[in-house]
């Protein structure tokens, strides 16, 4: 049984003050929610404040990125021990925005996963195709390449995959349940080749224009085990509705 997993990815949104306001509204809305892993990924500057508010709640904390070295002369970067020290349990790695704007390659994603795992962080690894790649019929090739290269010499421990078709991110164009299930089923198959039976335990999240209106249908797909939510996670009541999709 894979426990449903719903994570907010705030991207470059919310100051510390805005984080406090959100948490005060959000925590009571989900305090009785059971059987769902709830995670929020604020920007780096709000992580410590967020952790102080989330302590003793049913909500865990994620970072949106990490660097692949342990320490040293890497101006502007954040190491895995800096994240664990302030209460992060998860880290998002390989988001398409990082691949697109910051030239993150599969090799860099692989190095980041390796060090995050070493420090005991659970990893939300993002993969997904562009519109041009989908239209050219290359979706499964891209997903396979990102999985195989990103997970090279990586064990299945603490790995969560987020399938985020780039054309669905921030566009209001959600993948249909058929498109999501097809991709997730393919990903599960690739994970089986890599990890055997353990693949049945790995959660595969869908991301891309998830809202309170479409979460139920997406979660009804056999291989959709959760969601990574951008825009709709910025308002506490909206995100609570997504987390409480069973109600």
Q: Write out the catalytic residue numbers.
A: 95, 164
Write the DSSP string, 64-86. Answer: S---SSSSSS-TT---HHHHHHT
- What six digits make up the tokens of 137? 């019929």
| Residue 172: CB minimum distance to ligand 13P, A | 8
- What six digits make up the tokens of 84? 């664990």
- When the beta carbons of 110 and 233 are compared against ligand 13P, the nearer one is 233
H or E segment and range at residue 177: helix 177-195
| Residue 169: CB minimum distance to ligand 13P, A | 4
Helix count and strand count (H, E) for the chain: 10, 8
Q: How far apart are CA 164 and CA 184, in angstroms?
A: 10
| Residue 102: CB minimum distance to ligand 13P, A | 14
Alpha-carbon torsion (222, 225, 227, 228), positive or negative: negative
- When the beta carbons of 9 and 139 are compared against ligand 13P, the nearer one is 9
- When the beta carbons of 9 and 181 are compared against ligand 13P, the nearer one is 9
The residue number with the shortest CB distance to ligand 13P is: 230
| Residue 106: CB minimum distance to ligand 13P, A | 18
- When the beta carbons of 208 and 226 are compared against ligand 13P, the nearer one is 208
Residues that bind ligand 13P (CB under 6 A): 9, 95, 164, 169-170, 207-210, 228-232
Could you tell me which residues are beta bridge partners of residue 226?
Answer: 5, 205
Q: CB of 3 within 8 A of CB of 34?
A: no
């Amino acid at each position: 049984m894979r426990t449903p997993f719903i994570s907010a990815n705030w991207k470059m949104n919310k100051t510390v003050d805005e984080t406090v306001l959100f948490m005060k509204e959000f925590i009571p809305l989900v305090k009785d929610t059971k059987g769902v892993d709830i995670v929020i990924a604020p920007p780096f500057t709000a992580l410590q404040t967020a952790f102080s508010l989330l302590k003793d709640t049913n909500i865990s904390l994620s970072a949106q990125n990490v660097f692949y070295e342990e320490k040293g002369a890497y101006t502007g970067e954040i190491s895995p021990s800096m994240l664990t020290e302030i209460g992060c349990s998860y880290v998002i790695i390989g988001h398409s925005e990082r691949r697109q704007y910051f030239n993150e390659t599969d090799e860099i994603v692989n190095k980041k996963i390796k060090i995050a795992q070493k420090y005991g962080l659970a990893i939300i690894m993002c993969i997904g195709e562009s519109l041009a790649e989908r239209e050219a019929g290359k979706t499964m090739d891209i997903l396979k390449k990102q999985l195989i290269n990103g997970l090279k010499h990586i064990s299945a421990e603490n790995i969560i995959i987020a399938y985020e078709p780039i054309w669905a991110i921030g566009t209001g164009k959600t993948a249909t349940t058929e498109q999501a299930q097809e991709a997730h089923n393919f990903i599960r198959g690739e994970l089986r080749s890599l990890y055997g039976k353990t693949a049945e335990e790995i959660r595969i999240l869908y991301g891309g224009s998830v809202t309170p209106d479409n979460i139920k249908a997406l979660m009804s797909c056999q291989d959709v085990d959760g969601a990574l939510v951008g825009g709709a996670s910025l308002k506490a009541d909206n995100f609570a509705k997504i987390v409480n999709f069973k109600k």
